[in-house]
Every structure is written in structure tokens, then in C-alpha cells.
Chains A and B, each alone.
Chain A
Amino acid sequence: MKQRVAECWVIGILSIGALFFIKQAQNVASTTLPGGIGPRTFPLITFWAVLILNVCLLGSIIWEKVKTKKAAPTEDESQTKLIWRVIPYIPRQTLNIIIMCLLLVFLWRYLGFIVVAFLFVAGASLLLVPEEKRSLRRSLVLAGVYALVIYTLFVYVFKIPLA
């Protein structure tokens, strides 16, 4: 059930994206060279192929659903809350980390790499560690050491500046 919902979302995003890019392809130069293939030919073929295959995949999902319509709902289906039948199921911890990842990249420019790396590792490990094993000091030390090691390795050994 959860896989089906995620599948439908991927199909939806790709289909809308393909339609959008088909429209955008009109802005690409239409200069044609020998063989009739210009800059927009290959992308258009790709977008139309994605759209058609998405329709086929959606069709096969619907067909399967129709075929099993009369069957009793599976345990997975009956236990799945209504909301997770509409939006893809994401465990809470995973959702927290996703939000933290977005914050990490957003704040990198303002706070610098070491600070955001430290905050991210400390915060994420505190969130993820089971309550009985949680230790603020351990998380802070680990985060500090890791951020420093990565910074030193990349900036001073590999000579790759991290803003």
C-alpha cells in the first residue's frame, strides 16, 4: 500500500514535470542540422517517453487494483491510516532528518561549515538515539570532533575550501 502511494507520487511528479518541460522545450532553439535533429529533439523525445511510460505504469497499477477489487483488503491496507493512503508515508525520524538537512544547507552560507556540521550531527544524533542511551555530552563531543576532522581533512589536506 505504502509503495503504491509512493509510486503514484513519483508518476505524478514526473508527469507534471514532463508536461512543464515539453512546454519549456519550445524556448530551446529549433535550428535543425542534417538529419533533422536539433537541440530540442532529444529532450522532447525523452519527455514524451517519460509521459507515455508513466501513463502505462499508471494503467498497470489501476488494472491490478481493478483485478483485486473483489479480494478482501490486505492486512497492510486495513492497518494503513487514511492519510498515508494519500501522501507517501515517511517515518517521523526520517522527516526530522529531512528538515534538518534542508536547514543544514540553508544555514551553511550564514554560519559556516564547522558550525552547521556540528549542529547537525549533534542535533541528529540526539534525535535518533533511543532515550535510554541518550547522552548530551557524548553527542556534543562526537559532533565537535567529527566536524573538526572533516574540516581539517578537506581544507588542509585535500585543499578544498569549505565556506
Chain B
Amino acid sequence: MEVASSFSMVMAVLTDPMAMLWTFVGTFMGLVFGSLPGLTATMGIALLVPITYSFPTLHALGMMLGVYVGGIAGGAVAAILLNIPGTPSAVATVLDGYPMAQQGRAAKALGWAATASFFGGFISWLILATLAPQVAKFALRFGPPEYAALALFGLMIIASVSGKSLIKGVISGLIGVWLSTFGVDPIIGDLRFTFGNINLMSGIAVMPALIGFYAIPQILRSLSEEQTMEMNTKTLNLSDFIPSLKEIWRSKFNIVRSSVIGTIVGIIPATGGNIAAFLAYDQAKRFSKSPEEYGKGCPDGVIAPEAANNGVTGGALVPLLTLGIPGDSVTAVLLGGLMIHGLQPGPQLFSKSPDIIMGIFTTLLIANIFMWVIQLVGIKFFVRILRVPTYFLAPMLVILAVVGSYALRNSLFDVWLTILLGLFGYLMLRGGFPMAPTVLGLVLGPMLESEIRRTLILSGGDWSVFFVRPISAVFIGVSLLIALTVAVKSFKKGKNADQVEASI
């Protein structure tokens, strides 16, 4: 009986043209939101949920899940074409996506981003559909020590994205952590570094800082003649942007590994696509036979973060549907949307409404397919952005950037922050300081501090708790290993440079 009702729900989704239409509309809107810097999938769902009030449940689900999937994937468009991540989870995509665009391979980069996003979403969907209740138990094993260890592990990735100078990368990361200390203390609620300014009480939001450190410096740099973009003016054929089966097969390990990383990170509540993308990028680089190519236009450097950040979509739905716990900010808003339509996510949803669960699974798969198709079809139009002369594009992007930072809290203070951080970011860029570690620090700094303090409160000041819990111990062990490896490599590099100099 249950199998029959589940199957009928799947058929209901597949044969209902309106359900397909609203899923398509939601996915398209999500891609738009994701590709515009300053707008996020969270915002998209929050804005579109009211529209779905009068919709049948299935249509509403399609729209919301479509926005979710599209919103995460859309960030790659601006990241690749403009060096400005559309969403925080696309920051890692910039590292290789933009160099590919500079080399005239923008269409290929976008094609890879779309394809990797699809595979990431599909693999996480597979894990969600087959193992959701079992995998949810893994999420429950994460407590404050595990979160602190995960944050520490995430911060070690700074070494991977620091470029030529590790010390500059660490300083950039510390700038991000520095900015994250503004506002209210996460444990006892005291104010820190607000200087009596009410706008600083909620701290420095990630989006204005992201736009400030990425968009503004990049726009200012494009005005000088230091940057050139190789324009590929010939008409694009399918093979120019759709990866071939052979290419996909060659990158199979990267795709699967990154998708699984994204799914696992998504399952852990209060993490997100940003962490998953950087973790996947770091692992892809470590496992690569030619890690020196990363950061210079390597397709694998686009595949890893995009597969991971869309892998988060299925993973984040695991704790949401099985436990009623949102996996990230987007699923938190999604939870509200589901409840508005009379659905109560949690353990009972699986047992009492298996047909609804099948409807959600089917809609999620369809949204992933639509996301892939829309992106591939749109590539020919997206790359035309590169043909707009800088003297028109740059002012337009500045307006978009300031509107994006204003949109979050309707605050001119955020806009001022964006501009001032942007000017400092420009100086950092001129000085050869990388930007990616700053975002990592801004996102992971609060998590590291609050979870360490929370752990110590719970353990009565006992630091050994980090090492006796297995998941935490593994993360800390791997972090120390990474730190040691990087230190040894830096030392050897310095020694070799001295030896070469001495021999000359």
C-alpha cells in the first residue's frame, strides 16, 4: 500500500505539467538569485515562499526546491565571468574559473560548473533517497567539539588557497577572523568592538564583506590596463562548453569525491556550501597529479567546488526531513515554507507521509535536471557579458555590488562597509594578498570560537575532550598533519631557494 502510494506520488509529479512548470520557474529564479552578487538562495526562497501560499503542496515544493538548487548553482556564473562570487559557496570556484575565462575558456568553465553541479546534486540526491534515516544518525554525533575541530580543519585550507605566499594567506585569513569578532559575543552576549554603533551590534555580515573583498577590488583592477581577457569571438559549438563523456569519465574520482564531501558537510547542521566547496577544492588539489596547475585555470578546480556545493543541497535535506533540523540557512527558510504547507519535517514525516517524501525526492531530482539544462542553454548568452566593454561593465557592476550589499539588511551602513572594505581589499590585491582566506576566516572564525568555548563550558574546562572523541580527534589530527606538511614544504622551498642563490 505504501509502495503504491509512493509510486503514485512520483507519477503525479512527472505527469503534472504545472508541477514541472513551477519547478522550472523556481530553478530559473534560483539561478538568477545565485548569479547576482548580493542575492542568495536564502533570500530567493524567503521572497518566493509567500507566492506559493495558494499553490497545491506539490507545486509549492517544486518552486521552493527549484530555487534552492538553482540558487546554489547560479553563483558560478558571476564567479567565472566576473571574478565575483555570486554566492559565498562560489568563492572557491573563482580560483580556477576566472583564470579559465581569462584564457578564453569561459564557456568550458561554465559547462563544467553546470555539469559538476548536476552530478553533485544527483549524488547527494541518491544518498538522500536511499540512506536518509541512517545517515541522519551521523549528524547527531556532531557536538561542539566536532564543530570546533571541523572549523579548525577548514581553516587549514588557507594553506591551499594562499597562492605563492603562505604568510600573506594566513594574514588574510586572520583579517576575516578579525572582522568576525565584531558584534555580540556568541556565548555571554556582551558587545565587542561596536564603538557605540547600533549597526555593528549584529556584527559584520558575510555578504557585504564578500562583495567588498571580491567585487570592488576586481572592478577597480579591471579599470587599469593590467588585466586582459582573451575573448573567444567564434560561434560556440556544443563541444565548446558541454564536457564530453570522456572528459567526465576522466574526472570521475574528483566528481564523486567532491559530491560526497558536499553531501557529508550538508548533513552536518550549521555548516554550508562555502565550507564544502573549499574542502573539496583542497582535497582535489591534494589528490591531483599536477597540483601546481590549480589556481591557473584547471577545470578540476571548478569541478570540485561546484560538485561539493550542490552536493550540500541533498545533504542538508537529510537532517531537515528526518530530524526537522535545518542543515543551513537556506533549509531553515525552507523549513518555514514546508510548515506553511502543512508539512512537519521530522521522524514522523517518513513514517506517516512516505508519498510526500517521494514527492520531495522526485521534485529535487527534476530541479537538478532543469538546473543543468538551463545553465547549458544559457551559456551562449552568459558569455556575451564578456563582450561588454569594461568602461560600461565596471560602473554597472559597482551599482549591482552596492545594491547587493544594501539588499541584505536595507542598510546604508552595509554599503559603506562594502566600499571601505573594497578599498582595503584593492590595496591587499595590489600587495599580493589573496582574498579567499579572508572569506574562510570570516565564516569559520565564529564557529571555531563559539564551539571551543561551548565545549569547555560543557567539559568544565577539560581540553582533553577534543582528543578523546573520535570524530574530533580525527579532524584535529588531520589538521595538525596538514600544518606540519605545509611548514616542512615552506622550509624546504626556502632552503632550496637559498641553495640556488648560493650556487649562482
Contacts and interface: CB of A to CB of B under 8 A. Distances in A.
Given A7-B432, A56-B167, A117 B399 contact: yes
B402 interface: yes
A161 B409 CA distance: 10
A33 interface: yes
Nearest to A44: B181
B174 interface: yes
Given A9-B431, A10-B427, A158 B456 contact: no
A50 B424 CA distance: 16
A105 B402 contact: yes
A33 B453 contact: yes
B501 to A, nearest CB: 8
**Which of A2, A47, A93 has the most chain B CB atoms closer than 10 A to its own CB?**
A93
Number of contact residues on A: which range applies? 35 or more
B175 A35 contact: no
Contacts of B394: 97, 124, 128
A162 interface: yes
Contacts of B389: 129
Interface string A125-163: 100111000000000001000110010001000111111
A121 B395 contact: yes
Contacts of B39: 158
Q: Quick one: which of B187, B390, B398, B456 has the most chain A CB within 10 A?
A: B398
Contacts of A115: none
Contacts of A57: 167-168, 171
Nearest to A161: B410
Interface string B166-194: 01101100110110010001011010110
Contacts of A62: none
A35 B456 contact: yes
Contacts of B415: 105, 108
B403 interface: yes
A34 B391 CA distance: 57
B214 interface: no
A8 to B, nearest CB: 8
Given A10-B433, A14-B175, A128-B395, A97 B412 contact: no
B193 A43 contact: yes
A86 B384 CA distance: 41
Contacts of A111: none
A37 B456 contact: yes
Interface string B450-467: 001101110111110000
A36 interface: yes
A93 B223 contact: yes
B185 A39 contact: yes
B419 interface: yes
A101 B396 CA distance: 12
Given A34-B460, A97-B394, A50 B412 contact: no
A80 interface: no
Contacts of B216: 101
Nearest to B192: A28
Nearest to B399: A117
Interface string B189-220: 01011000000000000000000000010011
Nearest to A130: B391
A11 B146 CA distance: 34
Point out which of B39, B187, B223, B419 has the most chain A C-beta atoms below 10 A from its C-beta: B223
Of residues B43, B216, B225, B402, which shows the largest number of chain A Cβ atoms within 10 Å of its Cβ?
B402
Contacts of B399: 117, 120-121, 146-147, 150
B193 A94 contact: no
Contacts of B453: 33, 35, 37
Given A29-B190, A39-B185, A108-B412, A125 B167 contact: no
A128 B174 CA distance: 36
13 contacts: A7-B433, A14-B175, A28-B193, A39-B188, A46-B181, A93-B224, A101-B216, A120-B395, A121-B399, A124-B394, A125-B395, A159-B47, A163-B410
Given A46-B181, A105-B419, A129-B392, 14 more contacts: A3-B432, A9-B431, A21-B193, A29-B188, A35-B455, A35-B456, A35-B463, A37-B453, A53-B174, A88-B430, A97-B223, A105-B416, A124-B398, A154-B403
